[in-house]
Amino acid sequence: MAYNSKGGLPFESASKLGHLSLMNSEWINSLVKDFEAQFSSPSSSVTSNWTEFNSSSQNLIDQIWVVDGSYVPVQSDATPPKEVAFIKTAILNISEASLKNIDKYNPHPMDLQKIMKDNALFHSTVLPLRNIKSSKGTNFDTIRNIIFESIKIDEKGEYFETLKWLAYQKWLVAPTNSPSFNCPYCETNLEFTADLEKMNCTTCSKELYLTDMIGFHLDMTEDKATDAIASAYMSIMEHLMLFTIIRLYWSKQDKSLFINTLFIKDGPLSLNSQYVKLIPRIRDFLEYAKQQGILINILGQEKSGKFVDHLSTIARYVKPLEKCDRLHYHVLSHKYVETEVQDKPSTINYGQRSNWGEKVLVKVDPVTQLVINVPTGDYLDRKNAPLANELINLEVILTVIPHIISRRFLGGLYPIELANGIASLSSYPSAKILQKLLE
C-alpha cells in the first residue's frame, strides 16, 4: 500500500515494474492459460417471466413530485484536520405537460430553468464528524442537537410534523406511541407517547429527542462520527420531504389529487440498518390508504447496484428488441431475487426489514431499461410475492414512464435528472469551496 500525500509532500506512486515478476511466473502463466471466458445466455426462468404491457389507458399523471439528495464530507488542511459533512436535499414539483416541450436529447438550459423556477424546496445542514468543538457539548450531543433542530426549524416545522405523523401514525383516529428505541446514554428501551417532541429518560433522566428514535446515535461515539451518519440523514430527509407532500395532500378533504400525482424518489424505496424503524410505519400508511380506496402513485429508481447490473446482463435477451415492440416488464419475486440476483438463500424473505417497495425491471425500448421500486402497502411474506396486481397502481406508473424518459442518460428519468441538478454536491468544486467555509 502506498503512502498518501500529506503536508505538501508527494504521494508514493505504484511501481511501474511490479508486473514483471507476475509475467515471468510459470505458476501464474499456467493458471491464466487454464482460465476460459464463460459466455452463456440467461436461463429461461430469467427471460420467460417478462410481460408485455398492453394497457391502452391514458396517462393520468399531470403533477410530479421528485426528491433527491447528496452529501459531501469536507476536511480542513489543519493538523489535526477538522472534518464535517454538508448535506443537501431537494424536492421538485414538475407538471407532466411541461416536459412535453423539452428536447429529450439536447434540452435547452432556458427550458430547464423555466421548469425549475419557483418549484423547488431545499433543506440543508452540516454535521461535525471529527476534531470539532461546539458550544452544544460533545460531538455526540452536538450532532443529536443539530439533527433535531435542523428538521424542526426548516419550513416552519413541516418536516418535523411529518416525522411525528409517521412515528405516531397520526392518520389513525387514535395515534399510537412511537417505535421503541434504546436511550442513547443508558440503553433503556423506551417509546415516545403520542405527539411528544422531547422527553427525559425514565432511567438516567437525560433529555431525549424524537429524532433519537430513528437511531442516528448508533453511528457515532462521544467525540467522532463517520460519514455514514451524513448518508443516513440525507436518506431520512428524502423520505420526510416526500411524505410531507403526501401528508399535506392527505390532509385535504378532496383525496382525488392523488389520482393525477406521481411521487418519485431517486434511489430504492428502502432504509437500512437501525434506520428501518420508519419502514413499518410507511407500509402501514400505504396499506391504510389502499384500504380506503386511495392509491398513491410512488416509484423509486435504482441507478446502480446489483439489480441494475443484473438487468444490464439480461436486457439484450428480452423484448422489446425492435422499435415497434411494446414496453415489457418483470415484477421480481422474493425467490427470484434470492436465486438470480443475490445468488444466496435467505432465512427471511427479501426486503422484509428494510424495503417498502418491490423491484420491477422495465424495458421501454431496445436501448432503454431501468430498475424501479413500487410499494405494495403491507409486506407480502411469500416466496412468490409480489404479483403484478399487488403493486400499488403499477399500470399507472408503467403508462407514465415513456412520457418522462430522458435520452441523455441510460434509463434516465427527466424528473430525477432535474432534481439531481439542484440537489447534488460534487466532490469538486463543491467540496473545495465548502472547505474554505470550514477554515
Calculate mean pLDDT across residues 390-419: 92
pLDDT at 439: 57
CA neighbor of 362 nearest in space, from 372, 352, 353 = 372
CB burial class (10 A; 0-12, 13-18, 19+) of residue 345?
exposed
Instruction: Output DSSP code: residue 407.
Output: S
Written as nine digits, the cell of 219 is 453511528
pLDDT at 427 over 60: no
pLDDT at 431 over 70: no
pLDDT at 308 over 70: yes
CA neighbor of 279 nearest in space, from 294, 292, 289, 269 = 269
pLDDT at 97: 74
| Residue 180 or 430, more confident | 180
Distance CA 307, CA 16 (A): 37
**% of residues, the chain, pLDDT over 90:** 63
Calculate mean pLDDT across residues 354-366: 97
CA neighbor of 373 nearest in space, from 437, 300, 292 = 300
pLDDT at 345: 72
Bridge-based pairing state of the strands 297-302 and 198-200 = unpaired
CB 76 within 8 A of CB 438: yes
Q: Indicate the SS3 state at residue 318.
A: coil
- Write the pLDDT tens digit of every residue in 160-216: 999 999 999 999 999 999 999 999 999 999 999 999 999 999 999 999 999 999 999
Show Cβ contacts of residue 46 under 8 Å, excluding neighbours closer than 6 positions.
314, 317, 340
Return the residue matching grid coordinates 404479483: 387
Measured at the CA of 204, the angle between CA 203 and CA 208, to 5 degrees, comes to 100
Distance CA 162, CA 241 (A): 8
pLDDT confidence tier of residue 432, bands split at 50, 70 and 90:
low
Average pLDDT, the chain: 89
pLDDT at 422 over 90: no
Return the residue matching grid coordinates 414512464: 401
* DSSP line for 246-288: HHHHHTSS-GGGGGGEEEEEES-SB--GGGGGHHHHHHHHHHH
- Write the pLDDT tens digit of every residue in 218-230: 999 888 898 899 9
User: In degrees rounded to 5, what are phi and psi of residue 329?
Assistant: -145, 160
- Write the pLDDT tens digit of every residue in 281-296: 999 999 999 999 999 9
Return the residue matching grid coordinates 451518519: 229
| Cis amide bond preceding 320, omega within 30 | yes
HEC-encoded secondary structure of 104-140:
CCCCCHHHHHHHHCCCEEEEEEEEEEECCCECCECHH
Distance CA 137, CA 334 (A): 46
pLDDT confidence tier of residue 42, bands split at 50, 70 and 90:
confident
Distance CA 286, CA 12 (A): 54
pLDDT confidence tier of residue 81, bands split at 50, 70 and 90:
confident
| Residue 24 or 117, more confident | 24
pLDDT confidence tier of residue 344, bands split at 50, 70 and 90:
confident
pLDDT at 428 over 50: no
Return the residue matching grid coordinates 464463460: 38
Bridge-based pairing state of the strands 297-302 and 261-266 = parallel
Predicted model pTM: 0.89
Q: How many Cβ atoms are within 10 Å of 158's Cβ, its own excluded? A: 16
pLDDT confidence tier of residue 102, bands split at 50, 70 and 90:
confident
How far CA 232 is from CA of 38, 81, 237, 310, 416, in Å, comes to: 39, 23, 9, 26, 20
Return the residue matching grid coordinates 424528473: 415
Calculate mean pLDDT across residues 102-126: 76
Lowest-confidence pick of 145-154, 239-248, 346-355: 346-355
